[in-house]
Amino acid sequence: MNTFRADNLKNKISNRLDPELLGLIMAFLAVVETGSFAAAAKILRQTPSTISRKVIRLEESLGVRLLNRTTRSVVITEIGAIYLRYCQSINELLNSAEAEVTSMTRSPQGLLRISMPVAFGQRYITSLLADFLELYPKVEIEAAYNDRYVQMVEENIDLSIRIGDLPDSSLVARKIMSNQRLLVASPQYIKKFGAPQIPSDLSRYDCIRYTRYRSAGNIWKFIHEGDERVEHSVTVNGSFRCDDSAAVLNYVLSDAGVGIVADYLCYDALVQNKLVHLMPEWRVLPASGIYLCWPSTRLLMPKVRYLIDYLVAHLQHLSFTPIKH
């Protein structure tokens, strides 16, 4: 007994903190707090003999006597008092952990990582995130603006905004709006070169290509849904291509060629007559949408759920009716 040290006791607790040991510790704490095995048994909804066996097993595992028992009372030993302090610290930590986790599951708080396309994010999401943080000051947002396909689980992303196809079945997706792409050019360009009438005409134009589309943007597909459904593909060429959709729009606005641009990007320019919607009877393929996505394997915390609802409420009303000239 004299060779037993408090440091050894602390190490035994930290190294052997398993579910069974926790049960023994809870029995010991209950006996000390209530002063009897019977009262401890009532609190823990177990029999007095079960509580007694647990305390004995705890003492045997430590090789010390924690409690002195008489027919009338239970008295903690000196080494038992040392052990008690560590056990109370463990219990306080567990209670604090439970309180913090419970709090986090009830109200939005903590770090939230979101990924989004550059142009759409800067145009429509950034200001909404600022407003969201004003409403929920305990939330912190880390936003990644990029047009690449993000591996959400591997990169620890809580929420992503995706435009186009959703091949990853491990994600939960909620559509927030349609994404219609339009064939556009500036009035000055059309005045100089004329307007294409059918998809095959595009082979004669300087076509500005977005390289993140399929086939590096070199093959443009259209569908005509009149009396007869007709699909047409055309291989296009041009002097400029890039991986940034906003740059495609700006290049078209500079009177440099014909481009395919998302309606949410070019709508204002169409309304202001800075762009012309070409071949409006031919719809650009493939049809796509804009989605909020999150991993199906991850618990949807309030910070994520609240942001999803907030973005849906503020984005679903957006509508970009193509402008016909």
Answer whether residue 260 is part of any domain.
yes
pLDDT at residue number 184: 97
Distance CA 161, CA 110 (A): 20
The pLDDT profile of the chain, 325 residues, written as one tens digit per residue, is 334 444 554 454 444 556 688 889 999 999 998 999 999 999 899 999 999 999 999 999 899 999 998 877 899 999 999 999 888 888 777 776 666 666 555 678 899 999 999 989 998 999 999 999 999 999 999 999 988 888 888 888 999 999 877 666 678 889 888 888 999 999 999 999 999 999 999 999 999 999 887 766 799 999 997 777 889 999 999 999 998 889 999 999 999 999 999 998 999 999 999 999 999 999 999 888 899 999 886 678 889 999 999 999 988 777 665 445 4
What is the Cα 249 distance to its own chain's centre?
29
The parent domain of residue 151 ranges over: 110-177+289-315
Verify that 169 and 36 share a domain, yes or no: no
> Burial, 97: exposed, middle or buried (Cβ in 10 Å; 0-12, 13-18, 19+)?
exposed
Distance CA 155, CA 113 (A): 10
Beta-strand pair 288-295/159-164 = antiparallel
Distance CA 123, CA 177 (A): 15
Q: Judge whether 284 and 260 are in contact, CB under 8 Å.
A: yes
What is the Cα 223 distance to its own chain's centre?
35
CB atoms within 10 A of CB 132: 20
pTM value? Answer: 0.62
Verify that 159 and 138 share a domain, yes or no: yes
Answer whether residue 263 is part of any domain.
yes
Query: Which residue in the block uniquely carries the two structure tokens 């992303």?
Result: 157
Answer whether residue 321 is part of any domain.
no
CATH of the domain at 74: 1.10.10.10
CATH of the domain at 171: 3.40.190.10
Which of 69, 104, 139 delimits the end of a domain? 104
Distance CA 123, CA 173 (A): 21
> Which two structure tokens, joined as six digits, stand for 63?
């090789």
Three-class secondary structure of residue 232 per DSSP: strand
Answer whether residue 256 is part of any domain.
yes
Q: Judge whether 196 and 279 are in contact, CB under 8 Å.
A: yes
Three-class secondary structure of residue 38 per DSSP: helix
Answer whether residue 325 is part of any domain.
no
Which of 72, 104, 136 delimits the end of a domain? 104
Q: How many domains does the chain have?
A: 3
Instruction: Say what the alpha-carbon torsion angle 86, 91, 92, 94 is, to the nearest 10 degrees.
Output: 130
Distance CA 109, CA 17 (A): 30
pLDDT at residue number 71: 73
DSSP per residue, 282-301: EEEES-EEEEEEEETTS---
Q: Judge whether 207 and 236 are in contact, CB under 8 Å.
A: yes
Q: Judge whether 138 and 108 are in contact, CB under 8 Å.
A: yes
Q: Judge whether 316 and 176 are in contact, CB under 8 Å.
A: yes
